[in-house]
Amino acid sequence: MMPSSTLVLTKDQHEQLHRHLFPGDGLEAAAILLCAQGPGPRRRLLVRSTMLVAHADCIREADFLRWPGMAIENAIDAASADDLCLILLHSHPGGYLAFSQQDNRSDQATIPAIFQALGSLHGTAIMVPSGEMRARIYAADMRARDVELVQVAADDIYLYWADGAFRDRPMAFGAQARSELNRLSVAVIGASGTGSIVIEQAARLGFGRITMVDFDEVETKNLNRILNSRSKDVGVSKVKVLSEAIEAYRGKDVAVTIPTTILNRDAVLAVSQADVILCCVDTKEGRQIADLIASAFLIPLFDVGVSVPTRQAPNGVAILDVYARIDYIRPGGPTLRDRGVYSHASLRAESLKRSAPLQYQQELLDGYIKGVPEEAPSVISLNMRAASDLMLELIARIHPFRHYSNSECARRELRLGAGEEEFFSENTFTLGDNFVLARGLQEPLIGLPSLSEPFAAKLTEPTCSGNL
């Protein structure tokens, strides 16, 4: 069963908390997590910031902790402006991965006081030396409800399940790995050549829910690269065609169709519910939106790009290379913008292409095959390769199988013409400011005024037109 509640931390937050909570003296320590929220129906608590409670201000023992009320008052003051919820976190140095009776009594005394000052949804959490965490939340009735999943989106994607499942991490490609994937949801943005192949893999691998976003309909010219499309599907929504195919072998309630552009408030909110985002669009604007969603809602993002650059040869046009790129973006790490996948200049150029095509004729040649106007390029083999590498990258992050660290693979580039494959770490890129990180539902949504509630209804025309 997929989790109805999740607490999400970034790699940097988790590492900072672990250093503070386990300073090496074997005594308990404390911190406070200030969390934004995602939309319902699923409850996602997004750690926006942390407050470390000074060791010297606490009474600390190996199995007991008393911390000052002033620390909680300061957290309330910090959280009140944006209506954040608080998660009171402490360590169990002995490794006991459950809440003790003393923890229960402490919560009953402390949480109601937070309710009086700051809303009616707060909680507590514990961490053990391995870094594993458990969390629970309280509503006004003061009944503890487990946060079913604590997720840390680092170089590896760590999943800590409240029911204790999969503590012995499943081996990639095995039955247990499939069982864990069945608890997770994935959002795929773009359902054309590459996207349809990614969706098919996600369904066959057993993901519990697959949200598909694409406003476009099947055309005759792309029947040669969209999986599960048939002649009779021409004119039918791509996501509808793929949903029907999934239903035939997975049953109902797996595929969720969003037949609209990703630059749409409802589409953004739907994607924000996922555990992982797979971006399969070929527009800069589409990638920007995926990038912003991933940052705002702390969701790991995998982005794929393919192209066939050409050159002028004595006998006409020749292929310069056959290229694919896969990027893994962990929340808090270098974004697609930081990696140069899009920029203000490229977004402006793309907008100009739409609004003033006569001023941007060259872009007409920049489809799959750069420099050659092809209506129906035969690129399904390249799509297959790129889509498979994208999904293998996702599997490697959840169920590591490489003989080297995932930290070396922030980007992967394949140059099939040259027979080269190259990996890049995050250190290759310069980390920029990220003003939407853990923003959650704060308006304007993902930092774009066009997606704020008063204006979202005005977006009727699709603006992210390209899907791989």
Q: How high is the pLDDT of residue 461?
A: 44
164-198 residue pLDDT tens = 999 999 999 999 999 999 999 999 999 999 999 99
The mean pLDDT value for 118-125 works out to 92
The mean pLDDT value for 41-49 works out to 95
pLDDT over 90 for what percent of the chain?
81
**pLDDT over 70 at 46, yes or no:** yes
Q: How high is the pLDDT of residue 1?
A: 75
Confidence class of residue 2 from pLDDT cuts 50, 70 and 90? confident
CA angle 187, 188, 189 (to 5 degrees): 115
Q: How high is the pLDDT of residue 314?
A: 82
pLDDT over 70 for what percent of the chain?
91
Q: How high is the pLDDT of residue 462?
A: 42
Q: How high is the pLDDT of residue 459?
A: 45
Confidence class of residue 344 from pLDDT cuts 50, 70 and 90? confident
Cis peptide preceding 41, ω within 30 of 0: yes
The mean pLDDT value for 119-125 works out to 92
Model-level pTM? 0.92
Q: What average pLDDT does the chain have?
A: 91
Q: How high is the pLDDT of residue 282?
A: 86
How far is residue 58's CA from residue 66's CA, in Å, rounded to a whole number?
A: 6
Least confident of 12-16, 161-165, 175-179, 373-377: 373-377
The CATH code of the domain at 175-456 is: 3.40.50.720
Q: How high is the pLDDT of residue 320?
A: 86
SS3 letters for the chain? CCCCEEEEEEHHHHHHHHHHHCCCCCCCCEEEEEEEECCCCCEEEEEEEEEECCHHHCEECCCCEECCHHHHHHHHHHHHCCCCEEEEEEECCCCCCCCCHHHHHHHHHHHHHHHHHCCCCEEEEEECCCCCEEEEEECCCCCEEECCEEEEECCCEEEEECCCCCCCCCCCCCHHHHHHHCCCEEEEECCCHHHHHHHHHHHHHCCCEEEEECCCECCHHHCCCCCCCCHHHCCCEHHHHHHHHHHHHHCCCCEEEECCCCCCHHHHHHHCCCCEEEECECCHHHHHHHHHHHHHCCCCEEEEEEEEEEEEECCEEEECCCEEEEEEECCCCCCCCCCCCCCHHHHHHHHHHHHCHHHHHHHHHECCEECCCCCCCCCHHHHHHHHHHHHHHHHHHHCCCCCCCHHHCCEEEEECCCCEEEEECHHHCCCCCCCCCCCCCCCCHHHCHHHCHHHHCCCCCCCCCCEC
How far is residue 390's CA from residue 396's CA, in Å, rounded to a whole number?
A: 10
Q: How high is the pLDDT of residue 367?
A: 61
- CATH 3.40.140.10 residue ranges in the chain? 5-161
Exposed/middle/buried for residue 2 (C-beta within 10 Å: 0-12, 13-18, 19+): middle
Q: Distance of alpha carbon 415 from its chain centroid, rounded?
A: 27
Q: How high is the pLDDT of residue 178?
A: 97
The mean pLDDT value for 201-222 works out to 96
376-411 residue pLDDT tens = 567 899 999 999 999 999 999 999 999 999 999 999
More confident residue, 348 or 70: 70
Q: How high is the pLDDT of residue 358?
A: 59
Tell whether domain 5-161 is in CATH 3.40.50.800. no
**pLDDT over 60 at 366, yes or no:** no
**pLDDT over 50 at 460, yes or no:** no
The mean pLDDT value for 202-211 works out to 98
How far is residue 428's CA from residue 334's CA, in Å, rounded to a whole number?
A: 9
Q: How high is the pLDDT of residue 87?
A: 98
User: Are 72 and 62 a contacting pair, CB within 8 Å?
Assistant: no
More confident residue, 169 or 361: 169
**pLDDT over 50 at 218, yes or no:** yes
